[in-house]
Amino acid sequence: MHPSHSRDPLQCLEQLNRIGIALSKERDTPKLLETILIAAKRLLNTDAGTLYLLDKDEQRLRFEVLRNDSLQLYLGGTTGTAVPFDPISLCDPSGQPNTGMVVTYAVLHDTTVVIDDAYADQHFDFSGTHRFDRRTGYRSRSFLTVPMKDHEEEIIGVFQLINALDPESGQVRTFSPADRQLAESLASQAAIALTNHHLIRQLQHLFEALIALINTAIDHKSPYTGAHCQRVPVLTMMIAEAARRCEQGRLKTFRPTPEELYELKIAGLLHDCGKITTPVHVVDKSTKLETLCDRIEWVETRGEVLKRDLEIELLKAKLAAVERGDRAAIPLLERQFRARLVELEEDLEHVRRCNSGGEFMRPEDQARVRRIAARRWIGPDGRERDFLSGEETSNLCIAKGTLNPAERGVIEEHVALTLRMLSALPWPKSLRNVPEYAGSHHEKLDGGGYHRGLRESDLSTQARIICLADVFEALSADDRPYKSGKPLSEVLDILGRMVRDHQIDPDLFDVFIREGIWLNYARQYLQPEQIDAVDLNRIPGYTP
């Protein structure tokens, strides 16, 4: 009896089952293709084989994996070396079906093809096989070519097995009807695995496209946040990869899997999705008095009114002096007018300066704003009132940035909304931590962050990575409405002080500096003038 007929059916079924499980678990495309061909070779005990995928748009078969044990020739798949053969077209130059080759015939006729001896066959063109044999000294004899069809009965590829081997003698034999049946069963499993893999990748691409859509919406809503949504995930992954390589401190146990890194990437992409509901006038608030417009113009108008009042007062006083015959008083009146005008101009300039946000506002500058606010002026209704309203005074005295407490609360609410939005989604197991990572990106180790006030013990390494990436990007970005991009030396100094104050993870900051991530990122995303000289020995919280 032919050796292939002596296989135990139960054993074959168990083999197919194990192969099916292995194929269903594989997520890497080259590895999956290689696994399919290796499984086919082992199942049917063949010396060589090739796997092709069908390019439907181009109507051609692409070589994906080639394995030949006798020649120790392994190409495609995970080898890193592509199969150096041109794709095989399903049509000839005249546009007619190319049925002269075994693999194209199998696809065009949707059938398995068995060849006992390639050198004796008169139906197909084996000239390429003969050239290969002459060049390598190989002897291609028996062929089994099987189309792979998806759940819709569409052919997606072909695998071709060459030179079946007798399990006892090791001699080349022909493929039997049982071999054909077994190969077709495997082809069905392989096609399902490939199709599922393709569908999963399509869903993944769709998912990432939807995330990009959200970030684009935020981008168009406010040009000051769209680039941030793009850059933070890039920096997040740069830090994560460096942390994964770290061999010292707390990070030497941080060894995320590819799936866990992808989970972190998605969290980075979605970390600011809650800003989609944040009012534009708050996100884009570039000055302290800005709402829908910059109300500094209103203050300027009041200043012009006060200037005219001073001029009118001067003219009235000069007229009175003339009427009483005291012209000698006029030079004094003019000096007093000029002094009061200079004082008014200086006060207005102070208000203009204070209207621009900064990292810190001195108490004496705040006190001067309050003194200026107490000036009196007469409005259009004829009523006398303070030069600055209480709300304007409060805004101009904002110590850091341009947002008042109420507006800062609106901004900070985006984190709570991010967590709430993401927690409502039916995440698969591999992405279940995305809401937690994304919703913690403004927390600090000392508990002083927002919106939940989490402390060190509550924050995962992944969440801390996004925190570091978010702060560095925000400090270095040159597209914020309220500030220009800071130079690298200043950015790292601020980050170092945050590390020293137990706000940012010191181990991550150490890797961030030591591995030069800050400089690699800066060369890609910062303006040349921001990349100044940095003395690592002077960065707080870091020891070279």
Model confidence at 215: pLDDT above 90: no
User: 60: helix, coil or strand?
Assistant: strand
**What confidence category does residue 453 fall into, taking pLDDT thresholds of 50, 70 and 90?**
very high
Tens-digit pLDDT profile for residues 32-46 = 888 888 888 988 999
**Intra-chain end-to-end CA distance of the chain, in Å:** 75
As a whole number of angstroms, the distance between CA 422 and CA 204 comes to 17
CATH number at residue 526: 1.10.3210.10
**What confidence category does residue 249 fall into, taking pLDDT thresholds of 50, 70 and 90?**
confident
On whether residue 138 sits in a domain, the answer given is yes
Residues 80 and 25 occupy one common structural domain: yes
On whether residue 160 sits in a domain, the answer given is yes
Model confidence at 225: pLDDT above 90: no
3-state secondary structure labels for all residues of 440-466: CCCCCCCCCCCCCCCCHHHCCHHHHHH
The pLDDT of residue 22 is 67
Domain count, the chain: 3
Cα 370–376–379 angle (5° rounding)?
Answer: 120
Residues 515 and 387 occupy one common structural domain: no
As a whole number of angstroms, the distance between CA 374 and CA 365 comes to 15
Model confidence at 320: pLDDT above 60: yes
Give the domain-ending residue among 183, 200, 217. Answer: 200
The pLDDT of residue 412 is 82
On whether residue 205 sits in a domain, the answer given is no
As a whole number of angstroms, the distance between CA 535 and CA 532 comes to 10
Residues 37 and 157 occupy one common structural domain: yes
Give the containing element (helix H, strand E) for 74. Answer: strand 73-76
Top pLDDT among 282 and 253 is at 253
As a whole number of angstroms, the distance between CA 422 and CA 435 comes to 5
Tens-digit pLDDT profile for residues 278-293 = 777 676 677 877 776 7
Residues 350 and 472 occupy one common structural domain: no
**What confidence category does residue 3 fall into, taking pLDDT thresholds of 50, 70 and 90?**
very low
As a whole number of angstroms, the distance between CA 235 and CA 239 comes to 6
On whether residue 306 sits in a domain, the answer given is yes
Residues 356 and 505 occupy one common structural domain: no
As a whole number of angstroms, the distance between CA 270 and CA 236 comes to 12
As a whole number of angstroms, the distance between CA 54 and CA 191 comes to 12
On whether residue 271 sits in a domain, the answer given is no
Structure tokens at 95: 């546009």
As a whole number of angstroms, the distance between CA 254 and CA 247 comes to 9
Top pLDDT among 172 and 19 is at 172
**What confidence category does residue 17 fall into, taking pLDDT thresholds of 50, 70 and 90?**
low
Model confidence at 197: pLDDT above 90: no
Q: Among the listed ranges 9-23, 166-180, 295-309, which one has the minimum average pLDDT value?
A: 9-23
Residues 455 and 387 occupy one common structural domain: no
On whether residue 152 sits in a domain, the answer given is yes
The pLDDT of residue 485 is 74
Top pLDDT among 22 and 200 is at 200
Pair 128, 105: CB distance under 8 Å: no
Pair 81, 75: CB distance under 8 Å: yes
Residues 55 and 131 occupy one common structural domain: yes
Residues 83 and 149 occupy one common structural domain: yes
Model confidence at 421: pLDDT above 50: yes
User: What domain range is 79 assigned to?
Assistant: 3-200
Residues 85 and 169 occupy one common structural domain: yes
**What confidence category does residue 150 fall into, taking pLDDT thresholds of 50, 70 and 90?**
confident
Tens-digit pLDDT profile for residues 323-378 = 998 888 899 999 999 999 999 999 999 999 988 877 788 999 999 999 999 999 88
Alpha-carbon torsion, ordered 184, 42, 80, 239, to 10 deg: 90
**What confidence category does residue 5 fall into, taking pLDDT thresholds of 50, 70 and 90?**
very low
DSSP labels, 140-192: ---EEEEEEE-TTS-EEEEEEEEEEE-TTT--EEPPPHHHHHHHHHHHHHHHH
Residues 101 and 142 occupy one common structural domain: yes
DSSP labels, 305-360: HHHHHHHHHHHHHHHHHHHTT-GGGHHHHHHHHHHHHHHHHHHHHHHHHHHB--S-
Helix axis angle for 226-245 and 517-525, nearest 10°, is 150
Model confidence at 27: pLDDT above 80: no
State the average pLDDT over residues 292-309: 87
Residues 241 and 333 occupy one common structural domain: no
Cis peptide before 451 (omega within 30 of 0): yes
Residues 242 and 306 occupy one common structural domain: no
CATH number at residue 37: 3.30.450.40
Non-local CB neighbours of 218 within 8 Å, separated by 6+ positions? 225, 226, 229, 272, 273, 275, 276
Q: Among the listed ranges 98-107, 307-316, 370-379, 405-414, which one has the minimum average pLDDT value?
A: 405-414
On whether residue 487 sits in a domain, the answer given is yes
**What confidence category does residue 111 fall into, taking pLDDT thresholds of 50, 70 and 90?**
very high
